[in-house]
């Protein structure tokens, strides 16, 4: 399908382009980059003296890579995956939920009950310029340590946690 120009008959110079294509281009974190990112996140955790689980997902939240350090909490594996899923879903770090939930009792009560939604630190979206391409999630340390490990993973593959 093609693009076609549409506008209002009473304003012929006010034209909009209507997209009639059935597809959109999509950029994703590669599996190779995902593996490198979780390895870098784990290396950062090792330097902090903590044991973590690290997960990388594509822009749709589908798991690409996962790494569990020896002795890391078993339950933290699922939490790491869900942190990455949450960050990919909403496009901002999971520690950013505090201000969003503040002052809205309904959101504060309801959103945390949504399956797979994590509202504490350790999940960071992965951006290449202005394009979100995936996310990393880390669990096993404090929320701050987990977030630092995830950001270290992004830095190792040349990506950032905010659109530029």
- Residue-level pLDDT, tens digit, the chain, 164 residues: 444 444 445 555 545 555 567 888 889 999 999 999 999 999 999 999 999 999 999 999 999 999 999 999 999 999 999 999 999 999 999 999 999 888 899 998 998 789 999 999 999 999 999 999 999 999 999 999 999 999 999 999 999 999 98
In order, the DSSP letters of 78-123 are: HHHHHHHHHHHHHSS-GGGHHHHHTT-HHHHHHGGGSTT---SSSE
Does 19 map to a domain?
A: no
Does 117 map to a domain?
A: yes
Task: Provide the residue range defining the domain that includes 106.
Answer: 27-156
Does 8 map to a domain?
A: no
Does 2 map to a domain?
A: no
Does 37 map to a domain?
A: yes
pTM of the model as a whole: 0.85
Does 22 map to a domain?
A: no
How many domains, the chain?
A: 1
Does 67 map to a domain?
A: yes
Which residue(s) pair with 135 in the sheet? 57, 125
């Amino acid at each position: 399908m093609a693009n076609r120009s549409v506008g209002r008959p009473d304003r012929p110079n006010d034209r909009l382009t209507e997209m009639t294509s059935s597809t959109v281009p999509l950029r994703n974190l590669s599996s190779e980059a995902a593996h490198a990112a979780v390895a870098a996140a784990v290396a950062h955790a090792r330097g902090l003296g903590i044991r973590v689980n690290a997960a990388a997902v594509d822009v749709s939240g589908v798991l690409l890579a996962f790494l569990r350090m020896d002795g890391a909490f078993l339950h933290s594996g699922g939490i790491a995956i869900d942190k990455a899923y949450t960050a990919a879903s909403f496009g901002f770090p999971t520690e950013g939920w505090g201000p969003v939930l503040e002052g809205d009792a309904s959101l504060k009560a309801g959103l945390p009950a949504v399956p797979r939604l994590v509202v504490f630190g350790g999940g960071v979206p992965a951006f290449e310029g202005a394009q979100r391409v995936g996310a990393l999630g880390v669990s096993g340390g404090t929320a701050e340590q987990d977030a630092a490990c995830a950001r270290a993973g992004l830095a190792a593959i040349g990506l950032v946690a905010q659109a530029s």
